[in-house]
Every structure is written in structure tokens, then in C-alpha cells.
Chain A
Amino acid sequence: MQITLTLNDVRVSEEIAPDMLLIDFVRAHGCKSVKRGCETSNCGLCTVFMDDKPVLSCSVLAARADGHKITTLEGLQEEAAEFGAFIADQGAEQCGFCNPGFIMNALALFREQPYPTEEQVKEYLAGNLCRCSGYEGQLRGIMSFLAWKKQKEGVQ
């Protein structure tokens, strides 16, 4: 079947199998940041934005994305680097395999709640598993990013 969607601001039209999952579609289109870590919707590695909302691309049919806007980390490189630098400054990226999904969802959080508390961060990102970091360094990175952003934006 034919679908047309916007992938990282580029219009893509393609013939696909009806049971193709969005994760496989975006990876086939070069968005290799999107990772598969489980088959049970538990890990969050495959997080992408569908119409600016974070979703698990392993659980979305590519067919269902027809007519929608899909964003992966490839389409958010500046934001990823800006925020990611704070994670890197903690050494909390570690193996890096969960990073794209985690960073996508963190960016989604910052859009919804510009200055979340620690508890809000933990709750929003609960569906992003990481086996390396123990999450503590990620949290330090997030909080120092938020402090930096607050200062930059002149928020008290």
C-alpha cells in the first residue's frame, strides 16, 4: 500500500507492506538512531514523535503514520546536541544504546513542562529504561541542563 508522511520535515511517499512497523520504516529511511530493545513496549528505545507527541515506533503501523508528521532524533540534531552535552558532561551516556529514545522523550518533556521537578522527570521518563547508568547521572545531567536553560532564558 501507498503511504505519504513527513519524516523529519521531508515528504516521503512509499509503497509498504500493511504490517510494516514504523520503527522499521524510519530505520529503512536512514533514521538509525531509532533502536529496538524489546518486543513488549517496555524499553522506550524506539521513541519517535508522531505529530509532536512521543510514541513507541515499535507499536505503530507505518500505515497508521500515513498523513502524519514523524520526527526522529535525526531531525532534532541541534536540540539533541544542546541537551545531550549535559548528559555527556556526566558520562551518563555510557553505552549509548538507550540514548536516542531517552533524549527524544526528554525533549518531549521539556516541551510539555519547561521546568519539571525531579519527580516529574522520573515519572515522565519512566518508560525509558537504561541498564548502564543507574539513572542518577542522567538525572544530574537533566537538572543541570534545566538550570542552564533557566539562566539562559532569564527565568527566576
Chain B
Amino acid sequence: MMTIREYKRAESLEEAWQLNQKKPNRILGGMIWLKMETINVGTAIDLSGLGLDTIEETEDSFSIGAMVTLRQLEQHPGLAAYTHGAMREAVRHIVGVQLRNLATVGGSIYSRFGFSDVLTMFLAMDCDVELYKGGILPLQEYAQRPYDRDILVRLIVKKTPMQLYYQSVRNSQTDIPVLTCAAARMETGDYRIVIGARPLCAVRFELPAEPALAAEQLAAQFAESVKAQVITGSNMRGSAEYRRHLAGVLTKRAVLELEQRKMQEEK
């Protein structure tokens, strides 16, 4: 059971950061996972008064505040257009609307849970993380860092031209995934395949374009490549072997989908 000694709605990021340097203190995200922990929190630091709950879209990027909810991601028309609906697909299975109205992007990214659909999705894009003290760094790098006591302020997604596609396999519709797969096809024909819920943290594979190959062959080759590289593990929801198999299936399907989309565009 979780206990909290004090609650503080921070008035500035500096104040939040200062408070967060003390070990028993915790930044609050959507509280979905925190409340299930057996933990005695000193001061619970709430960032909800700092205006971090908006998605700002400019010509070349999205700036997504840490307190933006998953439901906001799901419903944002700009993100929907840029991701070709993949953003919505990435979050819509997460339990229910009421939970997605609470769970925050900051909480999801900071926690770097292995099963995170959100982390999988953002890793496929050109996404940076802005930390209060640590400045801006690529999400790819942040995802591999150990937990620290800096504050995640926002995500910055550059609108690099790419086609995105998101898939997950779940034992039931609202369960956490057995495997996630976000795929990006760059203008060059290069691919990024992100595999999450391995059950370890999501990883990204960069697959250079193979212009000589037809879609089917490309899909088969990339699927084999991801299967060969991906490290998977076993837990209640699936074995390492099954996950490796799924990584191949989802990669194949993603490539087929994106190649087809490309062909349709060319028409």
C-alpha cells in the first residue's frame, strides 16, 4: 500500500526539481502504477499546475507536455494526421478511456516500462526528451539511461517525413501487450522497427533500404533480420520463443503495409 506524507502542487519546475532531489519524494504522473506500489512517499510532487498539459503543433514539430494524457494523444488531430492513425492505435487498447484520461505521457516515458505502447510508438519517431536540468536529448538515448531525479518536461517530435504503422499482440484486448511493434518507413526507404514488450524495454532496429527487393521479399528479409537480432524473454504472457516469432510476424506485416501505402501514394 502506498502512503504519502505530504502533497505539493509545484509552482515552478525549479521548486519541483528541488523537492525531487530528496530520496523519499516522488513526481506524480497519472498515478496508475504508483498507487499499486508498496511505498512510503515523502512529498508527492504534482506538476499539474505548470501548464505541461498541452500539445503544441508547429510547422515542423510537436511539443508534448509531460502532463499530457494518453487520451489527448489519442484524440489529437495533428498527431493522427502525422502518424497516419498510428498514435491512436498505440494507445487505444490501454484499458479504458477513464484510465487514459489520467495516465500521462511523462509518466509513461519516464517509467520506461517494458510493456509500454507509448514508448514503443515514440521511439519510432524522431523524438527528443526535454529534461529540466539535463536539457534536450534523443528519446533513444533517454530510454537506455538509468532512472535519475531530473524532471521530464516535454517530448519534442520532429515532423521528419516518414510513414508510421503500429501493431500489438495482446492476449485480450485491454491487456498489456505480449509484443508491440512500431514501424517507420523513411523517405529514403530506410526502416525503423521498434519492438517493445519483449518483455524488456522497447528497442529500435535500423534497417537500410533495399530498393532492389519487392515488397514481399523486403518484408521477409526485414522480418528475419529483426527476429535474428531481437532479444526476447519469457513471462506470464508469453515465452521468449513466441515473442521472437511475433517480432517477425509484426515486422513482416508492417513492411507490407508501409510498402503498399507507399505504392498507393505513388499512384
Could you say which residues of chain B place their CB within 8 Å of the CB of A55?
98, 101-102
Question: Among the listed stretches B1-9, B233-241, B255-263, which one makes contact with chain A, having 4 or more residues with CB under 8 Å of it?
Answer: B1-9
Q: Indicate if the CB atoms of B101 and A18 lie closer than 8 Å.
A: no
What does the 1/0 interface line of B8-37 toward A look like (CB < 8 Å)?
A: 010000000000000000001011100110
Q: Indicate if the CB atoms of A127 and B4 lie closer than 8 Å.
A: no
Question: Among the listed stretches A35-43, A82-90, A91-99, which one makes contact with chain B, having 4 or more residues with CB under 8 Å of it?
Answer: A35-43
Within the complex, what minimum Cβ distance (angstroms) separates A4 from chain B? 13
Cβ < 8 Å to A, chain B residues 61-102 = 71, 92, 95-99, 101-102
- Given contact pairs A21-B35, A64-B48, A59 touches B102 in the complex (Cβ within 8 A): yes
What does the 1/0 interface line of A86-115 toward B look like (CB < 8 Å)?
A: 000000000000000000010011000000
Asked if A44 is at the interface of the complex by the 8 Å CB criterion, the answer is: yes
- Given contact pairs A18-B7, A41-B32, A56 touches B99 in the complex (Cβ within 8 A): yes
Asked if A60 is at the interface of the complex by the 8 Å CB criterion, the answer is: yes
Q: In the complex, which of the residues B7, B35, B44, B98 contacts A127, with contact meaning CB atoms closer than 8 Å?
A: B98
Within the complex, what minimum Cβ distance (angstroms) separates B44 from chain A? 7
Q: In the complex, which of the residues A18, A39, A126 contacts B4, with contact meaning CB atoms closer than 8 Å?
A: A18
Asked if B111 is at the interface of the complex by the 8 Å CB criterion, the answer is: no
Asked if A19 is at the interface of the complex by the 8 Å CB criterion, the answer is: yes
Within the complex, what minimum Cβ distance (angstroms) separates B95 from chain A? 5
- Given contact pairs A40-B36, A41-B32, A61-B4, A54 touches B95 in the complex (Cβ within 8 A): no
Q: Indicate if the CB atoms of B96 and A126 lie closer than 8 Å.
A: yes
Could you say which residues of chain B place their CB within 8 Å of the CB of A61?
4, 7, 28, 31, 44
Cβ < 8 Å to A, chain B residues 84-132 = 92, 95-99, 101-102
Which residue from chain A places its CB closest to the CB of B34 in the assembled complex?
Answer: A59
Which residue from chain B places its CB closest to the CB of A123 in the assembled complex?
Answer: B92
Q: Indicate if the CB atoms of B102 and A56 lie closer than 8 Å.
A: yes
Q: Indicate if the CB atoms of B3 and A41 lie closer than 8 Å.
A: no
Within the complex, what minimum Cβ distance (angstroms) separates B242 from chain A? 24
Q: Indicate if the CB atoms of A42 and B44 lie closer than 8 Å.
A: no
Asked if B174 is at the interface of the complex by the 8 Å CB criterion, the answer is: yes
Could you say which residues of chain A place their CB within 8 Å of the CB of B96?
44, 105, 125-128
What does the 1/0 interface line of A40-72 toward B look like (CB < 8 Å)?
A: 111010010010011110111101101000000
Q: Indicate if the CB atoms of A63 and B7 lie closer than 8 Å.
A: yes
Bound form: Cα–Cα A53–B102 in Å: 10
Could you say which residues of chain B place their CB within 8 Å of the CB of A148?
none
Give the interface centre of A61, A108, A125 by most chain B CB atoms within 10 Å.
Answer: A61
Q: Measuring CB to CB, which residues of chain A are less than 8 angstroms from any residue of chain B?
A: 1, 18-19, 21, 39-42, 44, 47, 50, 53-56, 58-61, 63-64, 66, 105, 108-109, 123-128
Q: Measuring CB to CB, which residues of chain B are less than 8 angstroms from any residue of chain A?
A: 2-7, 9, 28, 30-32, 35-36, 41, 44, 46, 48, 71, 92, 95-99, 101-102, 173-174
12 CB-based A-B contacts, threshold 8 Å: A19-B4, A41-B99, A42-B95, A44-B96, A54-B101, A59-B30, A61-B28, A64-B48, A108-B97, A124-B97, A126-B174, A127-B99
